[in-house]
Amino acid sequence: MRPIPHGGNPASVRRQYGLGDLPLLDFSASLNPLGPPPSVLEAARSAFDRVTAYPEPGSPRLAERLAEYHGVSLDRVIVTAGATEALSLISQSLREVLALHAYQRGDPGMPIAHLVEPTYGEYRRASHLNELKLESWGEHVLAWQQEVFPDPAAGIFWAGHPNNPTGQLWERERLIAHVDGSLGMLTVVDEAFLPFFADDASRSLIGAVPERENLLVVRSLTKSFAIPGLRVGYAIASPDMIVRLSQYQDPWTITPQAEAAALAALDETDYLARTADLIATESARMLARLWEIPGLRPAWPDRREAGEHPQPLPNYLLVSLTETTWTSIQVHEALARRGFLVRECSDFRGLEVGALLTGHNQLVATQGHLRIAVRLPHENDALLQALVEVLGSEPPALGDEILRLA
């Protein structure tokens, strides 16, 4: 299982296309466009003199602050190096017990990991690396209403809330009903992008965790506070599950600088409110503008004005290339040569070049998909203009591409 490609790697794109030191405005990583709060950066800098000492195992100060922040008991919190470490720990810690369950059921090959695709590739990778046979559920997953649930069974159900890259939010009560109807399955709800929504608190499933042994919520401070280099995430689950995860966690995964920054970030409530207002306005405005560009189709069931969508939009938008000779791979390169980096999505299952966009009563042929982060208004306008220019021109000839790659 090879590493999953992710956004936020401008150096790799410069090497790939021979761009040298060309500045790239990064729309491939969906981070807070406001940048880190000054208090967060200052806290990280102030902790630099602690590099001569080992970090305190388990980051107890941060764990205690997170428990207070979310109103749960301390024994329900584990701090991790980003949300991705939590996903890895979940798979590692359940590998043997789920394999034993399948053996006792008389079906060692039964699926014991479930997900809805297209989705974040690390769910699949963590499952494969820990030999958890995986079943993918994917009917109409690009529609606004997500109605796919695995049958009640044992194992892990990976659920992005909102899902990456489609941006769909789960209906909270419906997802809780699924959890309650699948007591033998651990439902892992990844809320890494949920803080970008103004109604985060009412949509989050954290409040449902104390009453349920089979629910685990993963969160990240990386994206909402624009500190991806510091790697801070956490999981909230039953006390028994937290003990299990901690047994598999390597020591010292959280640096003192990351812990100090995270502690400062949790006090920045006004910053998150300003972020949610910005994202709500700009994501809707960008969606409306994207519909106006020939060759692009935001990947939702119907062509509606942004304000008519039944759900709010996240801090990224998924668009399909349709009715154009340009592929998503070609657009990715053309934008990079103009100084813009977007997330080309052909490595997501179901979003490859030539994939069909499906939804309720629709079937649309595509030339691939792009995920575009929402940034500041003037930056978004610059990207939109670049998309107009690229899609209004002719794509490079196949022979030109072959020569460039040779």
> pLDDT exceeding 90 applies to what percent of the chain?
76
Evaluate if residue 312 carries a pLDDT over 90: no
pLDDT at 108: 85
The mean pLDDT of 136-154, rounded to a whole number, is 63
pLDDT at 398: 63
284/231 Cα distance (integer angstroms)? 29
Report the C-alpha gap between 370 and 361 in whole angstroms.
23
* Shared fold status for 10-30+270-405 and 38-265: no
- Closest Cα to residue 162, out of 303, 5, 30, 27? 30
Q: What topology is assigned to 10-30+270-405 in CATH? A: Aspartate Aminotransferase, domain 1 (3.90.1150)
Mean per-residue pLDDT over the chain, rounded = 90
Q: Say what the pLDDT of residue 350 is.
A: 87
At 319 the pLDDT is 94
Distance of CA 215 to the CA centre of its chain: 19
**CATH topology classification for 38-265:** Aspartate Aminotransferase; domain 2 (3.40.640)
328 vs 305: CA distance, rounded Å? 24
Those residues whose C-beta lies under 8 Å from the C-beta of residue 269, and which sit 6 or more positions away, are none
pLDDT at 266 over 50: yes
pLDDT at 210 over 60: yes
Asked if 190 and 120 count as a contact pair (C-beta separation under 8 A), the reply is yes
Per-domain boundaries in the chain: 10-30+270-405, 38-265
How does pLDDT run across 363-400, given as a tens digit for each residue? 788 999 999 999 999 999 999 999 999 999 999 986 55
Tokens 């009412």, located at residue: 202
pLDDT band for 305, please (50, 70, 90 cuts). Answer: very low
| Structure tokens given for 238 | 């039953």
